[in-house]
Amino acid sequence: MKTTLPPERNERAVVDDASVIDTSKMNEGQRAALELTEAARETGERRSFAGGLFMGDCDLRNVFPFPEQNPHDREQGEAFLERLEKFLHERVDADAIDRTGEIPDDVIAELGRMGAFGIKIPTQYGGLGLSQTNYSRAAMLLGSHDANLTALISAHQSIGVPQPLLMFGTDAQKQKFLPRVAKGEISAFALTEAGVGSDPAAMTTRAVPTDDGKYFTINGEKLWCTNGVKAGVIVVMAQTPPKVVNGREKKQVTAFIVDMDTPGIEVLHRCHFMGLKALYNGVVRFTDVVVPRENIIWGEGKGLRVALSTLNTGRLTLPAACVGASKRCLRIVRKWALERVQWGANIGRHAAIADKVARMAAQTFALESMTLLVASMVDKDKKADIRLEAAIAKLWGTEKAWQIVDETMQIRGGRGYETADSLKARGEEPVPVERFMRDCRINTIFEGSSEIMRLFIAREMLDPHLKVSGAALDSRKPMGQRLAAAAKAGLFYAQWYPKQWLPFGGSVPAGVPAPLARHLKWATRTSRKLARRLFHAMAKHGPKLEREQVLLGRFVDIGAELFAVIATCSRAAALARAGGDEKSREVVSLADYFCASARLRVDQLFAGLTANVDREGYRLAQSVLKSPMEPLVDGIIRGEQ
C-alpha cells in the first residue's frame, strides 16, 4: 500500500515518533488516532499475569491461593453493604424508576447519606474509604436490582471526579472537591462528542489559555454525558494548544474539573435510550466557559492519559454489576425452570433448557471469580498493572452477561418478553427480565466497546513482541538500524521460541482438586500454544497483522478464556478447601463444567485461526457497503434508513 503522506513527513516520523508501531503506511485519520492513544498509553514495564498468558508464561503462583477478602476488610464493608441491600430491597422500586424515567430525589439523598457516592474515597475526605473489593460487592448488589442506580453511582465514582482525582489530583484539588463528591454532589465525565466516539483524536472541544495563562476558556459540545443533567461538577476533556515536537505538531488533550454552575454551561438535551430509562444523560454545551488553570488534572496534555488510566480501574464496575445481574437472572430461571410444566415435565428437565441453565450457572461463577480476582489485585497494590485483566473482565463479562440475559428471556418464554408492569396487571409475578435485557445491552458499548476492548487487549498482547522486534519491522527506520534490531530480536527468539514447544503442563499448586488441576495444566500448555501461534501470525503477516482485527480478536478471546479458566479454578479450589465434602463436590463440578466448555470454545478459536472466511467476509462487506446487491434491498419500504 502506498503511503498517503509526503516523504518529508515520513522522514520526520522516523526521528520523533517514539512509538514502536510503524504508522507510515496509515492514512492521516488512522495515524492521528493511533499516535494520540499511543502517547496516552501507560507503559508499565512489569508484565501483568494476563500479559504473561499471551507470552506462554502462565505463572500460577500469582493467582494461587485465591486472594480471599481479608476479614478486616470484609467487616469494614459489611455495615455499608447491609444498609445498601436493605435500602434497595425496601425502598427502591426499580420498575417504577424504569417506568417514570426518574430516580426519586429521596433515593438519591439516602444513597448520599449512606456514603454510596464516596465508597472508595478515603475517610479523611469524608468518604467511606472502602476497598475495590467492597466497591465491587456494592456494584454487584446494585446490578442485581437497578441498572439506573448502578450507572448513576458508577459514572460518578468510576469515571467522574473521584477516580481521576484520587489517581492524579493535587492535594489542593482533593481537599476542594473530594468532600463535595463524597457527600453526594453528583459528578460526571465528558469525553464523547458527536464526532468522537472511540476516536479521541477527532475532538473539537477546545480550551484556550487566557493571555495571562491563569485560566482556560472552553468552547465545545459534549454528547451522552451520563449524570450531566444533574451533576454539580464534571471532568471535561478538551484540546489545548498543540505542542511542537521536532518541528511537528502534537495534539494535546487536557482534563479539566469544571463546576457546572460556571457561566456558559448549558444542558441542551436530556438523551433517552432503549434501556437505562432514568439515566441523567445529556448534551452539554460550553460557550466561553472560563476555568482556572489549577483545575487541570495532572497536567496540560495529559488528559487522555488521565481518561485511559481512570478507565482501567473504572471499567471494573461493569463486570461486577454484570455478576449481580447474572445472579439475579439465575434466580429467576431456577424458579421458573422448576415450576413451569410443559410437555409433561418441568422445563428444567428438558435438555435444551437444562443446557442453558448449566451454561448460565458456570459463566456466572467464572465472571464473579474473575471480578473478585482483579479487584483483589487492585487492593493488594494500587499501582499494579491491571490494564489487561480489567479489560478482559469488561469484555468477557459484558458479553457473557448479555448471553445470560438473553437465555433468561428464552427460558421465561413469552413472559420474558412481557413487561413487569403488564405481568403484574394480569396477576402474575412482575419478573423484570424485559427491563434487564434493555438495561444490559449498553454494557458492551460504553466504557470501551467490545471491538475497542479487543483492539486494546491486542495492542497490549503484542507489546512484548513489538518491543523486541518492532524496530526490525519498522519501514520508517534506516536499513542499518533495522538489521541491528533484527539481530537482537533473533537472539531473543532463539531462546524464547523453543520454550513454547514444551509439552508438559507445568506445576499446579498443592491441594487443588484433581479435575481442576487437569484444567490448570491444560491452561499452562495452552498459554504456550497461544504464544507460538501468535508468533507465527506475526511472522506471516508482519506489520499488517495490525489490520487483521478478526484474527487478533481470536487470540484475544483465547487469552480471555484462559484467564477465566484460571480465575475459576483458583476460586473453586479455595471454596472447596473451605467447605465440607458436599460443598466441595458442588463447586468443583461447577468449575469443572465451566472449564470443559471453555476448552471447547478455545478449540474452536484455534481452529478459526487457519480455517476462516475473514478475507472473503471483508471483501463481501466492502461490496455490500459500496452498493448493496439487489436481493438485499428488494421488497421493503422506501426511505433513508
Does 38 interact with ligand FAD (rule: CB under 6 A)? no
Output the smallest distance, CB 191 to ligand FAD, in A: 3
* 199 neighbors 33 (Cβ within 8 angstroms): yes
Which of 198, 219, 419, 584 contacts ligand FAD by CB under 6 A?
Answer: 198
Q: How far is CA 455 from CA 19, 462, 537, 556, in A?
A: 16, 10, 16, 9
Applying CB under 6 A, does 101 fall inside the site for ligand FAD? no
Residue 451 in the binding site for ligand FAD (CB under 6 A): yes
DSSP tag of 230? T
What residues are paired with 269 via a beta bridge? Answer: 283
Comparison of 280 and 496: residue with beta carbon closer to ligand FAD: 280
Cell numbers that stand for 387 in this block: 490494564
Residues whose CB falls within 8 Å of the CB of residue 607, separated by 6 or more in sequence, listed in order: none
Distances from the Cα of 66 to the Cαs of 349, 377, 515, in angstroms? 34, 11, 17
Q: How far is the CB of 143 from ligand FAD (least distance, A)?
A: 15
The alpha-helical segments, DSSP class H, found in 155-302 are: 162-168, 171-183
| Among residues 191, 201, 289, 537, the one that binds ligand FAD under rule CB under 6 A | 191
Active-site positions read 447
Output the smallest distance, CB 189 to ligand FAD, in A.
5
**Stretch in the footprint of ligand FAD (CB under 6 A) among 7-15, 191-199, 200-208, 482-490:** 191-199
Using alpha carbons, list the distances in angstroms from residue 50 to 64, 114, 251, 510, 575. 14, 36, 32, 22, 23
Residues 319 to 358: which contact ligand FAD by CB under 6 A? Answer: none
Cβ nearer to ligand FAD, comparing 368 with 447: 447
Q: How many residues bind ligand FAD (CB under 6 A)?
A: 23
Residue nearest to ligand FAD (CB): 197
CB distance 190 to 237 below 8 Å: yes
Using rule CB under 6 A, residue 36 touches ligand FAD? no
Nearer to ligand FAD, 81 or 297 (CB): 297
Cα separation, 173 vs 177, in Å, equals 6
Q: Pick from 273, 486, 498, 621: which binds ligand FAD (CB under 6 A)?
A: 273
**Distance in Å, CB of 233 to ligand FAD, minimum:** 14
- Residue 627, SS3? coil
Residue 319, C-beta contacts closer than 8 angstroms, at least 6 positions apart: 367, 370, 371, 374, 393, 394, 396, 397, 398
81 binds ligand FAD (CB under 6 A): no
Which CB atom, from 190 or from 558, has the smaller least distance to ligand FAD?
190
Contacting residue, 190, 362, 440, 605, with ligand FAD by CB under 6 A: 190
Which grid coordinates belong to 162?
473521584
**Residue from 125, 189, 298, 396 binding ligand FAD (CB under 6 A):** 189
Binding of residue 280 to ligand FAD (CB under 6 A): no
Grid cell locating 210? 487566557
CA nearest neighbour of 432 among 411, 416, 448, 450: 416
- By CB under 6 A, residue 509 contacts ligand FAD: no
**Site for ligand FAD, residues 217 to 236, rule: CB under 6 A:** 224-226
What's the one-letter identity of residue 152?
L
Q: How far is the CB of 87 from ligand FAD (least distance, A)?
A: 25
Q: Under a CB-based contact definition with an 8 Å cutoff, are residues 377 and 386 in contact?
A: yes
List binders of ligand FAD among 518-557 (CB under 6 A).
549
Query: Smallest distance, Å, CB 418 to ligand FAD?
Result: 24
Among the listed residues 69, 132, 192, 376, the single contact to ligand FAD using CB under 6 A: 192
Q: Tell the smallest beta-carbon distance from residue 586 to ligand FAD (Å).
A: 38
Q: What is the DSSP string of 48-104?
A: PHHHHHTTT---GGGT-S--PPPHHHHHHHHHHHHHHHHHHHHH--HHHHHHHS---
* Nearest CB to ligand FAD, comparing residues 149 and 591: 149
Phi and psi torsions of 582, nearest 5°: -65, -45
CB of residue 401 to ligand FAD, shortest distance in Å: 16
Work out which of 76, 219, 449, 597 binds ligand FAD, going by CB under 6 A. Answer: 449
Q: Contact 127/118 with Cβ under 8 angstroms?
A: yes
Say whether residue 119 binds ligand FAD (CB under 6 A): no
Strand partners, 265: 286
* Residues in touch with ligand FAD (CB under 6 A): 155, 188-192, 197-198, 224-226, 273, 276, 279, 281, 442, 445-446, 449, 451-452, 455, 549
